[in-house]
Amino acid sequence: MYVYLLPFTVRKQLAAILDTDNAWELLAFVMPDIENTDIRACRDAGSFESPTENLLAIWGSKGNKVIQLYNCLGRAKLVRAMKAMRHLVNPLFHCWEEQCLQSADENSQESKKAITSRSCCSAKNGDITTPCYGEAPSVKCSNMKWLNRETDNYADSHIIYKTLQNTPCIKYNDIVRITNNFSSENILGSGGYGTVYRGMWEKTEVAVKRIQAVKECGHEKEQMRQSLQELRMLSKYRHDNILPLYAYSLDGPQPCLLYQYMRNGSLFDCLFRKKPVVLTWLQRISIMIGCARALHYLHSVAKNPIIHGDVKSANILLDKHLEPKLGDFGLCRDNFSKSDENLVLNYEKLIMMVKILIKYKECINQDNWRDDDFVTASHVKGTLAYLPQEFLTGRIISTKLDVYGYGIVSLEVATGLKPHVVKRYPQNIVEYVMDHQKSGKHENILVDHQCNFTNDLDASYFSLILQTGLKCVVQDYRKRPTFREIINTFLYVCNSV
């Protein structure tokens, strides 16, 4: 039954219950497809009409069903309203009412939290989780070993829930099927986060990231936090140069994320594997422009800039047309506060288990954010070569952190050199490039000889990428360019040559 077919008496009962103390706003908060404009319209009509009836009319016009409404009432812990319409839903779902009451008894604050996993009932912890609508509650929450009380506060946050509304949720059993039971033959790569598998989902080639947390030194909790953060960010922010998230699965022993399959792997792979893909200079500059556009979008789309926090060539993926897609958003932050003590950056294989522990320092007030404003992080771990000194020594995090990482990638693309090599002097690519610049013969020495110049245009592209990289890695972070300036420079030079 559709919501717009709700019996008149039931609709009036719901209005009487939810209009009281504006309880309808709790329902609107967890409803997919309800925008702020819809909520404002309901509020404005409240003086002469029932806001609940207006809300149901708006939501019902979008093709939603009664079972979905019942489930939303459960997420909002509005048990009285659930009871008013329980006769309209399958009795299999009536257990949600009892679970709401159990959850409320355990912690009254839980009543305002939204729920993010698949449909289930658990007598053990009394959680209600998000279903693929219309399914009976068959999967037990107690089987979700990856989701524990330490991470519930993050997983259940309303922010994550709201951003997942337009992202398909699929069964873990389907993940097992499309990866051939996580066959080793389908492995694309692995790391501290888990393993990525190749799969075929709905006749579409996909990459499946299976999160496998390491249970040591508190890493499990942090890995889950990063996985859920990545899930939220990729669901919320869409751009041509950001890796598309197709779907997610949260009902199995490990959470899984489904991405677009990137046929050419990472930019790092293209540059440095044993048989590298030889990128032309036109392709290289196109890749750098695409990356800059993705980062400019992140820095400008929201009220406060969204800092990626882990810009490196291994996190820039290339599709079959060599179009770049920025990935790995586990460290991304889109909200800053004075008590931001949880920003943990993950540095992977390049420095091999390098760990930096920095004591928390008071963060600055974020009321008047500017591009050169910064916040401080309390705990830091990571890929040292992509991180600037102000971050390593002063714990400063700003948009210029991403600019520095982008600068290192630019130097990699221009020279074909890795950012840090122990047997090289200087070991750091920034110092290496600067030393050779002083010699006056830097072009012949530094150019990536896997792709020699075929014309003057190639030389111009090389010089542009190299000089842009050097501007991005200057020591004073305030003097680094913004991505708007970087894009404008690239386009101006490319249109001039």
Binding residues: 209
Catalytic-labelled residue, pool 251, 310, 402, 448: 310
Which residues have a Cβ under 8 Å from the Cβ of 31 and sit 6 or more positions away?
55, 59, 72
Type of residue numbered 416: G
Type of residue numbered 406: Y
The single residue listed with the structure tokens 């102000």 is 390
For residues 405 and 420, what is the distance between their CA atoms, to the nearest angstrom?
13
Type of residue numbered 472: C
Binding residues for ATP: 209
- Cβ atoms 246, 258 nearer than 8 A: yes
38 is catalytic: no
| Residue 194 exposure: Cα atoms within 13 Å on the Cβ side | 23
Contacts 24+ apart (CB under 8 A), 454-461: 456/497, 457/281, 457/282, 457/497, 458/280, 458/281, 460/493, 460/497, 461/281, 461/282, 461/284, 461/285
Lookup: tokens for 255: 């959470």
Lookup: tokens for 293: 């556009």
Catalytic residue list: 310
